Chain A
Amino acid sequence: MSSSRDRLMPLKRLALATVAVLAAGSVWAQSTAFPGIGRAATPKEVQAWDIDVRPDFKGLPKGSGSVQRGQDVWEAKCASCHGVFGESNEVFSPLVGGTTAADIKTGRVARLTDPGFPGRTTLMKVATVSTLWDYINRAMPWNAPKSLSTDDVYAVTAFLLNLGGVVPDNFVMSDANIAEVQARMPNRNGMTTNHGLWSGKTMGNGGRPDVRATACMSNCAVEPTVASFLPDFARNAHGNLAEQQRLVGPQLGADTTRPPGSAARPAAAAPSAGPSAATQAALALARGNNCLACHGVDNKVVGPGLREVARKYAGRADAVTYLTEKILKGGQGVWGAIPMPAQTLADADAKAIAQWLADGAKP
């Protein structure tokens, strides 16, 4: 910023000019002040986004909801993925099961000490009721997060806890009594922070590792006996490993479609082409309209896989009309009891997806 005029001044004014140059240097910002960057958040903005609820219930909005109301919301919005009783393992891990009345008394879920007990449900693990409230409020339902009212979040939380026997059938949960619910959480005493994996000073043991190994270099005491490996006929369970390795290199992939020992250099076949343009377009529509939240391309998720639908209606003359209507208006009973709700996509999009299905949903 020093101007060239300053430097052309007579020698006797040089000292003064130097001061001017140094002063001009202050345009280089201090490292902690960044004028013009960022602004104060308005209270309205903070309220819109600050939705977290802590274990001490800081952030919990006032409201209430009954177990009975929770059941209605559950059956409409939650049961299709989690099961009518929160027990389903089809889409997500089970929420309910594995806790007892004795656990509610002790605050420790006894079955967590039983290595033979299959799986762990949410209610077996969670120690804090705030966690359930916060998560249901911020992320549920699966395909429409943050759409539940505050009272419905209370109601669904109460219903879920009722399924686990934590609160009675006639319970109405609210900000006023949630602390009493906390005192009944089956695994409320089941957490520990006494470990070395927290990197702050406020919790944990200061970062001290729990497993101490030494780096022995020769004649080390080991038992190099193979105790576990994949059996041969499971070797292809992750697909043909030959197709999961680069075509060239020091090692090639094992052709796991063939028995062990028969592996040889696979032919450097031309790479297969990707999906066709029609399929890419149809899948983009399916993705953009949230179809894939419930339908896999090949496999059932909540509803049938798209290719399963295509196979079922292959050869049906009015397949495009029929499937367009099913997409727009929904249906129930063809693929099971879980209903597909009516969808709000453009008619043309629905028809395009139906056309792709009717054409066989080719790769």
Chain B
Amino acid sequence: MPDPFDTQRPGRLIKAPENFIGPEGVKTVFREAKEGRRDFIRNAFAAAVAAGGTAAAGGAAAQANPVPADGGDPNILNLPAHTTGLGQGVVTDGYGLPSKYEKNVQRRQSPGLTQTTQASVSFAPLQSLFGIVTPSGLHFERHHQGWWDIDPSKHRLMLNGSDERLMKKPMVFTMDELMRLPQVSRFHFIECGANSGMEWGNVAVPTCQYSHGMISCSEFTGVPLKVLLDMAGTDTKRARYVLAEGADGSSMTRTIPMELIESGEVIVAYGQNGEMLRPENGYPLRLVVPGIQGVSWVKYLRRIEVGDKPYATKDEAIHYIDLMPDGLHRQYSGIQECKSVITTPSGGQVLLDKGYYTVSGLAWSGRGKVRRVDVSADGGRNWRTATLQGPVMDKCLTRFTLPWVWDGKPALLQSRATDDTGYVQPTYRQLRAVRGTRSIYHNNAIQTWLVQESGEVKNVQLS
């Protein structure tokens, strides 16, 4: 049986045609990626095969930790200033910052994706993160009409009903009052419904920051929304829908099923990773709707309305609707289905040498816990079950790892997650067979990274 994870058997050689699209083709690739068409690149691929396309050339970079000719590493032999001098004092920064050598680890925009910065997205640098918690300053951003830093002493939360019979007592709370109520703290992922949306039709971005970076994971602290609705006396028999509304210019609204509130999972949150929410993430108050796409986690939350019908708000009637092959749009689609991605090695990285690596990545499911993650190095022909790092939590990122010895040959790395409902993450082929290529939203297909002989890792899709 072939086993790429504990032997040094040669890997499969996957020929990757290079340089077959002219410069004018780049623009087409990006444009068609947006439109969800893959014909262009498929045709170009066919042409390249006909022309006898060649594989990537060049071996891996040289041994990365050599012994210098004079018998010692100058970083060891010559004591640096930090070993021979006096360091800095306490409270240089009252709220500390990362090392200046971490400047490359930034959330970033994808060039050309949006024309404004206020209705836009920045992607979290998954390739540089450890464990499951996203540092708050690196949390992905999605703003609909710009972010604000709101004075918490002036922020209010209102509860009311779409008619007066649905709620006995419409209420108003200050932040002081909300923070006096019993609090819960829970770890959950938040993923934008459009995460990986640029990749529905074909490969459009180079790294996992851009392909999967609209996901983050935090410990959120706040009050279960059920507690507040109970205080106000909600007729939950008739009020089966909840509208959440933001206080910013867009006053974002989304419809949420009452079942989720009744489960106790939905939190009116002010805390994130031990501190208050960051302004970009909704300071001082946001809704936390575990397992559901990020657009429902309304930021700057000012109002909760309970109703007997759904609301068809802009972000559930014009955007965040999934176009199916028959021309119908799926409306009120919220659950983020089971998904995973290998974050190292991943696109845009370079393996410096053959030998041992830890394949490491993230898995999650909007329906529950991750039960298992399998990893393949040969494009999905053979799989090995990875180790899940605990704790494995409900609707939360789970880190998986698997030891791997790279033999210097091309490899196609994939991860495939299964959740505790038994749902298995699909391939692109399986997903597209049902949903076509134009959906934009809810792309949870298996991601493939091609490790080339040069050591450079490339984002690819298989057919």
Contacts and interface: CB of A to CB of B under 8 A. Distances in A.
Interface of A: 31-32, 34, 37-41, 45-46, 49-52, 54-56, 58-59, 90-92, 108-110, 112-113, 115-116, 118-120, 122, 125-128, 130-131, 134-135, 138-139, 142, 145-146, 187, 190-193, 195-204, 207, 209-220, 222-235, 237-239, 241, 243-247, 249-254, 256, 260-265, 268, 271-272, 292-293, 296, 301
B234 interface: no
Interface string B377-389: 0111111000000
A93 B210 CA distance: 21
Contacts of B118: 292-293
Contacts of B195: none
B311 interface: yes
Contact of B318 (A122, A197, A230, A239): A122
Contact of A200 (B57, B258, B378): B258
Nearest to A113: B327
B243 A52 contact: yes
Interface in B313-358: 313-314, 317-318, 321-335, 337, 344-345, 348-352, 357-358
B45 A200 contact: no
Contacts of A249: 128, 344
Contacts of B41: 227-228
B78 interface: no
B14 A127 contact: no
B348 A118 contact: no
Interface residues of B, number: 165
B115 A301 contact: yes
A253 B206 CA distance: 11
Interface string B278-312: 00000000000001100000000011010101111
Given A91-B116, A145-B249, A230-B458, A192 B329 contact: yes
Contact of B326 (A113, A227, A253): A113
A197 B456 contact: no
A222 B379 contact: yes
Nearest to A197: B333
11 contacts: A37-B173, A41-B170, A41-B171, A50-B305, A139-B250, A197-B337, A198-B332, A202-B240, A212-B430, A213-B425, A250-B351
B327 A54 contact: no
B29 A238 contact: no
A220 B381 contact: yes
Contact of A31 (B116, B159, B182, B435): B182
Nearest to A50: B160
A79 B428 CA distance: 40
B56 A192 contact: no
B217 to A, nearest CB: 19
Closest 9 CB pairs of A and B: A200-B257, A224-B379, A261-B58, A227-B463, A251-B349, A197-B333, A241-B348, A113-B327, A112-B327
A283 B337 CA distance: 41
B393 interface: no
Given A193-B331, A229-B450, A245-B348, A38 B463 contact: no
A110 B303 CA distance: 38
Contacts of B25: 231
Interface stretch (B85-93, B95-103, B132-140, B268-276): B95-103
